[in-house]
Structure 1
Amino acid sequence: MAGPVKIALIGMGWWGQKMLAVLSSAPDDITVVRAVEPNLETVRDLCAAKGIPLSADYADALNDPNVEAVVLATPHSLHTDQIKAAVAAGKHIFCEKPLALTKAEAEQSVALCANAGLVLGMGHERRFEPPIADLLAKADAGVLGRIHQIESNFSHDKFVSLDRDNWRLKADQAPAGGMTATGIHLLDLSVRLLGPAESVLCICEQLSSDLPQGDTVAAYVKFKGGGTSYVSASLANPFISRFAVFGSKGWIDVRDKAHVEAPDGWIVTSAMAGGPIETIEIAPAEPVKDNLVSFARAVRGTETYPVTGEHLVNNIALLEAVFKSALSGAIEIVA
Structure 2
Amino acid sequence: MEKMAAVLIGAGMIGESHVRALSGLRDQIGLAAVVTRRPEGAMYLAEHYAGERPVFTADLEAVLADPAVRMVIVATPPSVRIDLIAAIAAAGKHVLLEKPVARNLAEAEEVVKICADAGVSLGMVLQHRASLPAKAAAELVAGGTLGALGHVEIIAQLWRDQSYYDELGRGTYARDGGGVLLTQAIHSIDLALSLTSPVSEVQAMTCATPLHQLEAEDMAVVGLRFACGAAGSLVASTASFPGADEMVKLHFSHGSLAIGRRRLDIHWRDGRHEVVGYGIGDAGPSPENYIWHQGVIADFAEAITQGSAPMATGEAALAAHRLIDAIERSSRSGAKVMVGAA
TM-score, reference length from structure 1? 0.87
Partner of 1:288: 293
Cα gap change, 1:195 to 1:96, in 2 (>3 Å): same
Cα gap change, 1:68 to 1:176, in 2 (>3 Å): closer
* 1:1-335 equivalences in 2 (<5 Å): 3-47=2-46, 51-158=53-160, 160-162=162-164, 164-207=166-209, 208-236=211-239, 237-240=241-244, 241-256=246-261, 266-279=262-275, 281-282=277-278, 285=288, 286-301=291-306, 304-335=309-340
Partner Cα separation in structure 2 for residue 177 and residue 164 of structure 1: 13
Question: Which whole-Å deviations, capped at 9, do the CAs of 1:44-79 have from their partners, x for residues lacking one?
Answer: 343488521112243343233332111011111322
SS of corresponding position for 1:153: strand
Q: Return structure 1 stretches of 4+ with deviation > 6 angstroms.
A: none
SS of corresponding position for 1:180: helix
Partner Cα separation in structure 2 for residue 78 and residue 226 of structure 1: 38
Instruction: Tell me if the contact between 2:40 and 2:56 (Cα under 8 Å) persists in the aligned partners.
Output: no
Cα gap change, 1:279 to 1:170, in 2 (>3 Å): same
Cα gap change, 1:307 to 1:46, in 2 (>3 Å): closer
Q: Which has the higher mean CA deviation after the structures are superposed, 286-295 or 188-197?
A: 188-197
Cα gap change, 1:82 to 1:229, in 2 (>3 Å): farther
Question: Which whole-Å deviations, capped at 9, do the CAs of 1:198-241 have from their partners, x for residues lacking one?
Answer: 22222222322223323222232222332233222221222321
The one-letter amino acid paired with 2:267 is A
Cα gap change, 1:192 to 1:268, in 2 (>3 Å): closer
Instruction: Tell me if the contact between 1:7 and 1:34 (Cα under 8 Å) persists in the aligned partners.
Output: yes
Shift of 1:297: 0.7
Partner Cα separation in structure 2 for residue 57 and residue 280 of structure 1: 46
Partner Cα separation in structure 2 for residue 57 and residue 91 of structure 1: 16
Instruction: Tell me if the contact between 1:176 and 1:323 (Cα under 8 Å) persists in the aligned partners.
Output: no
Q: Which has the higher mean CA deviation after the structures are superposed, 313-322 or 179-188?
A: 313-322
Shift of 1:309: 4.8
SS of corresponding position for 1:194: coil
Partner Cα separation in structure 1 for residue 110 and residue 167 of structure 2: 30
Structure 1 gap segments, 5+ residues each: 257-265
Shift of 1:323: 2.6
The one-letter amino acid paired with 1:274 is D
The one-letter amino acid paired with 1:27 is R
Shift of 1:278: 4.4
Percent of residue pairs bearing the same amino acid type: 27
Instruction: Tell me if the contact between 2:154 and 2:189 (Cα under 8 Å) persists in the aligned partners.
Output: no
Shift of 1:148: 1.6
Partner Cα separation in structure 2 for residue 81 and residue 159 of structure 1: 32
Question: Which whole-Å deviations, capped at 9, do the CAs of 1:236-280 have from their partners, x for residues lacking one?
Answer: 222321111111111011223xxxxxxxxx233221121234456
Instruction: Tell me if the contact between 2:203 and 2:337 (Cα under 8 Å) persists in the aligned partners.
Output: yes
Q: Which has the higher mean CA deviation after the structures are superposed, 175-184 or 93-102?
A: 175-184
SS of corresponding position for 1:274: coil
Question: Which whole-Å deviations, capped at 9, do the CAs of 1:166-221 have from their partners, x for residues lacking one?
Answer: 33322333355311122111221232222332222222223222233232222322
Shift of 1:325: 2.6
